[in-house]
Amino acid sequence: MARQSLNFGQFDNDPSADKAREGAAKIEANFVELYAAMGGKAPLVSPAFTGASTFGGPVTVNAGLQIGAFATSGQFRMLGDNSIGRVLDFDFTQISSQSGEWRFGRGTNTSGSTALVVYRADGTSTADHRLASGTAGTIAALCRNGGGLSVGHTASVAATLDVNATALIRGAAGTTRELRFGTAGALRWNLRANASAESGSNGGSNFELLAYDDPGAGLRTQLQIIRASGHAVYFGNWTCGTDNGFTLGGASNRWSVVYAGTGTINTSDAREKTPVRPFNAAEIAAARDLIAEIGIYQWLAAIAEKGEDSARLHVGLTVQRAIEIMEGHGLDPWRYGFICRDEVTRKVKIQQTQVVTEQQTEPDDGFDTVIEVRDGVPTLVQKARPPKPVFRMEPVLDESGEQVMEPVERQSDLLDQNGQPAIIVEMRPALHPVPVMVEREETIWVEIDEPDGDRLGFRPDQLDRFMLRGLLARVEALEG
């Protein structure tokens, strides 16, 4: 029924005006319809609205506010210009002794964010416990997608937690910062910065990897890296993943000193070798000459660092002289395993162009008013909004590839039985925003290994045995 208005006439006792009974009947009919629309509730505390409703001031809801029966049938909209935040407050201070409030909306306590945020204000202007969706300011997207939680992006994730940014675990100096792994309720591994004091000179907060037993009690500190010195201590055996497949160090990345309780063990199994043949005359002669070249030398790098008088003296010979002797006896030095030559590289930085795929953005000319603490004073400032991500609306398909339809309500030009515009429900294709991706080229600096000559070396054990055969030949010659 359309609202019935009273006819007061143009002057006192106007015969065209409603009679008292007629006016009362209209008033009664209006109230009957109003109460029926409210479900018979009294007092009228939960009004229902159809169509567009605008409020110029605050609206207080003492219970619940239902917005449509389904997500597609109703909207709640908070409007404002670019200088204010739009926030839906759940304030407990009015109904109990609890302090603080929960806020949901586009607020001013979010470091210039144009994002959708949920946070607890705790009665102050400093927000915490924030949940944000967007990329403005320092707040990244936090979304539930595909059964997981994504941080820094909105793509569907298969993992429980997917971070498309830097994950930071922080704490005060002298505290432990940990990333733990467990099985059921028991710990298995703990990756952490320990609680060692930070006393200056880069000391403290050392890196550790801890192991735990089946019940979850500590087994050992498996790995420790000292932050100040970079020294790493591993409590266990290092084993090569592939038998005889990898080296320890290289010609350009040598260990300076190796400390060991015993010597290395080299495979010398007859089942893995050809039959051992005797030395020929040229090899014996070369071995005797190599022995004669053994002398005293110093490393040039040690002289440059310590001076000639302080650099230590070493015993041996050079690979270059050994090559000359071998070739002088008609032998190919590179056929023998005690002479080695390895390529040396050096680290250089070069520019490379790479293609980066990222979401397209467009300028946002608006500003946000935010509160920043400057020199201890809360200050209201304006922050320019960052560029907005661009999306396109695409039809939603089900798993079989069929287009998904959804009901959409609209007002008809026809009137219903109550004289109100009739509501028509139509089925339309469901649409969903999809990021618009673009490619761009960027120039980056990368570090590569560039050839820088070679470095010659000996396998000392094999060289010593080669020369030992020459020494035996000399002894035999002397013994006649």
**Domains identified in the chain and CATH numbers:** 260-338+459-480 (1.10.10.10)
Backbone angles phi, psi at 463, to 5 degrees: -60, -45
Q: Is-contact 66 76, C-beta < 8 A?
A: no
Quickly state the pLDDT bin for 46 (edges 50, 70, 90). very low
Q: What is the pLDDT of residue 84?
A: 44
Which burial class, exposed, middle or buried, applies to 458 when counting CB atoms under 10 A from its CB (0-12, 13-18, 19+)? middle
| CA–CA separation, 9 and 15 (whole Å) | 8
Which burial class, exposed, middle or buried, applies to 107 when counting CB atoms under 10 A from its CB (0-12, 13-18, 19+)? buried
Q: What is the pLDDT of residue 50?
A: 53
> Taking all residues of the chain, what is their mean pLDDT, rounded to a whole number?
80
Q: What is the pLDDT of residue 20?
A: 83
Q: Which two tokens stand for residue 123?
A: 């009665």
Reported residue count of the chain is 480
CA dihedral defined by 9, 10, 14, 16, rounded to 10 degrees?
A: -50
Does pLDDT of 66 surpass 90?
A: no
Does pLDDT of 347 surpass 70?
A: yes
Q: Which two tokens stand for residue 3?
A: 């609202």
- The pLDDT tens digits for 280-335 are 999 999 999 999 999 999 999 999 999 999 999 999 999 999 999 999 999 999 99
Q: What is the pLDDT of residue 51?
A: 53
Q: Closest by alpha carbon to 2, among 422, 418, 421?
A: 418
Count the neighbouring beta carbons within 10 Å of the beta carbon of residue 380: 10
Q: Is-contact 283 335, C-beta < 8 A?
A: no
- The pLDDT tens digits for 355-365 are 999 999 999 98
Q: What is the pLDDT of residue 74?
A: 39
- The pLDDT tens digits for 356-404 are 999 999 999 888 898 999 999 999 999 999 999 999 999 999 999 999 9
| CA–CA separation, 202 and 223 (whole Å) | 19
The C-alpha angle 244, 250, 253, rounded to 5 degrees, equals 145
- The pLDDT tens digits for 198-207 are 988 899 999 9
- The pLDDT tens digits for 227-281 are 999 999 999 998 888 888 888 888 888 888 888 899 888 899 999 999 999 999 9
Give long-range contacts, CB 8 A cutoff, 24+ apart: 453-457.
453/343, 453/344, 454/251, 454/341, 454/342, 454/343, 454/344, 455/251, 455/341, 455/342, 455/344, 456/318, 456/319, 456/320, 456/339, 456/340, 456/341, 457/251, 457/319, 457/340, 457/341, 457/342
- The pLDDT tens digits for 424-467 are 888 999 999 999 999 999 999 999 889 999 999 999 999 999 99
